Chains A and B, each alone.
Chain A
């Protein structure tokens, strides 16, 4: 009886785990980039990339929860812009930093709750609700500031960007902590596992005693909260409230989630996977900048790589499924 698994079979098993596939993709990307540009593998560049993806990373946590349930939140970019501006407005009006941040977090949570209510109780499709909310929050951000960015905050507010621990500013460590903590929570706690149950079979979830409607509302509240945290962190970094921030961010994070292993039908995916997707997409963007690729080509390059990467994985998945059926 054959007891040894061939290397090919082992490799196939490894590739089956989307996270490892992503790491391999990233390693390939890094190698290619290092060869193509001597400026890539420099401390300054890598730090700059990491800093840039912090908002995406924070928002990813909330977006994954939505994806697990077979849904998504298109309002996160707008919420980030609005809350990033709101905290600035509050501070300029004389509110101290901590209360300003707390109030802003509460507002963001509230926006998420509104999303959740319309989706779970009124049964409006998440696409409509969250896209509508995106338009509302973006406009609200512009209304708040009259279109301009606002600045002039107390220097202490900039701690996320200015305080460094090692080579990286606080905001990066903060994001990493969030990613790691929530990845563990989603794998190991009853509360967050419910998202997987819900996404895998909503009817059975209901019958098993999961309060489906209430949980969905909580999910969107959580997503809104994550977007708010991202907004505050971003405002802290650039020391300005920018109403135009995060344009198109929701699609980027969504794509990162899918490329990192989340199924749009729900039931699968991890936070680490989505985070790896965020890293991968940021590397592509960085590559375009340091290789001075014409702006006109940005969209083409990003789109092609995205489609290609997920296609490769889907093809491998199909081959695996066919092999299993033959049994």
Chain B
């Protein structure tokens, strides 16, 4: 028994060391991207880009919000002839997102769009860039050397929504704000709070955590409703908030009596906008952000743009720093167009 244990321990160690020792120092992403890219200053039609892989790295990756993002990725893949992948941990644990980013860099992907849910990933983004993998931040920005930011400022998004609620309530009343403790969501909540405080007489009674979990959120909102019978409006700051709020209101028979402003355009939430239980939803342009992002990374990699000779080697980036995607406001009037049926 004892010898077997020592043997197995030695074997394990040998295995690890051998694997690392013999492993090839694979070409870095820059080299592979360059190898695939032609010398010419424009991407020649008919060239084969299928080996390039662009990854969108999200968190809470299985919620319906990401459907639009993935559609955008698919369209970009088709348009450019590259491979697009959607990845990310299923919870909002940024350490897992960091780990995956490192693994993607080690794999040598051509570019990554990072959903910047938590600024802790900043260092990892810099590591990726140092290794030659260009990175774009989408939806929420992270302080780093990232090439570009696409999306809408969370705080400003909150302000937009607050303005809508302001109109609905005529400037005064009680509201509850729901979301979950991820940096991007928190900044939206803050946007709402700041707008209400500065520009209206609306009082925020409570901020609650709906855990972004469609199975638990309805009960959480129902309890909040019961605790605050004097509430006039409810705001949902993450994609799963809207439906949960609507369900809670309908169960309590309060639909129409309490105003609702929610987030995103999840398919199963749209019927509630149609029926009027939800008054408006602030959604971003996730499809376009993804599509746009992949194209930007592609342009960066494949010598499509050439404003200055040798800009890459000289470290002069011609790419935009920050792209404001704007938001779309979904209301009863236009909700029919937002269904994905096609």
Contacts and interface: CB of A to CB of B under 8 A. Distances in A.
Chain A in direct contact with chain B (Cβ < 8 angstroms):
yes
Contact of A240 (B86, B105, B120): B120
Interface in B91-116: 91-96, 98-100, 102-108
Contacts of A47: 20, 106
B74 interface: no
A243 to B, nearest CB: 8
7 contacts: A42-B106, A43-B23, A47-B106, A142-B181, A244-B118, A245-B95, A270-B5
Contacts of A52: 99, 102-103
B25 interface: yes
Given A42-B25, A52-B99, A292 B85 contact: yes
Question: Which of A52, A55, A180 neighbours the largest number of chain B CB atoms within 10 Å of its CB?
Answer: A52
Contacts of A180: 9
Interface stretch (B11-19, B221-229, B248-256, B267-275): B11-19
Interface stretch (A15-23, A119-127, A309-317): A15-23
A234 interface: yes
A299 B24 CA distance: 31
Contacts of B7: 20
Interface in A208-259: 234, 238-240, 242-248
Interface of B: 1-2, 4-5, 7-9, 11-12, 15-16, 19-20, 23-26, 53, 55, 61-62, 83, 85-88, 90-96, 98-100, 102-108, 118-120, 122-124, 131, 181-183, 186
A167 B94 contact: no
Interface in A1-40: 14, 17, 19-20, 22-23, 26-27, 30, 39
Interface SS of B by simple majority: helix
A289 B120 contact: no
A244 B92 contact: yes
A99 interface: no
Nearest to A167: B20
Given A242-B120, A289-B100, A295-B61, A149 B106 contact: no
Q: 6 smallest A-B Cβ distances: which pairs?
A: A44-B106, A147-B181, A240-B120, A19-B8, A149-B120, A45-B106
Contact of B8 (A23, A43, A44): A23
Contact of B25 (A17, A43, A55): A43
Contact of B90 (A17, A246, A299): A299
Interface in A136-173: 142, 146-149, 151, 167-168
A61 B171 CA distance: 58
A20 B94 contact: no
Contact of B86 (A20, A46, A151, A295): A295
Contacts of B104: 289-290
Contacts of B107: 39, 42, 44-45, 289-290
Contacts of A22: 8
B238 to A, nearest CB: 13
Contact of B119 (A48, A151, A244, A245): A151
A49 B119 CA distance: 22
Given A41-B23, A289-B100, A244 B90 contact: no
A55 B86 CA distance: 26
B24 A43 contact: yes
B118 A149 contact: yes
A142 B108 CA distance: 35
Contact of B26 (A39, A55, A239, A242): A39
Contact of B106 (A48, A148, A242, A248): A48
A19 B15 contact: no
B119 A45 contact: no
A20 B2 CA distance: 13
Interface in A34-86: 39, 41-52, 55
B61 A26 contact: no
Given A46-B20, A147-B186, A290-B107, A245 B94 contact: yes
B91 A248 contact: yes
Given A39-B108, A242-B95, A289-B87, A44 B26 contact: yes
B113 to A, nearest CB: 14
A141 B19 CA distance: 38
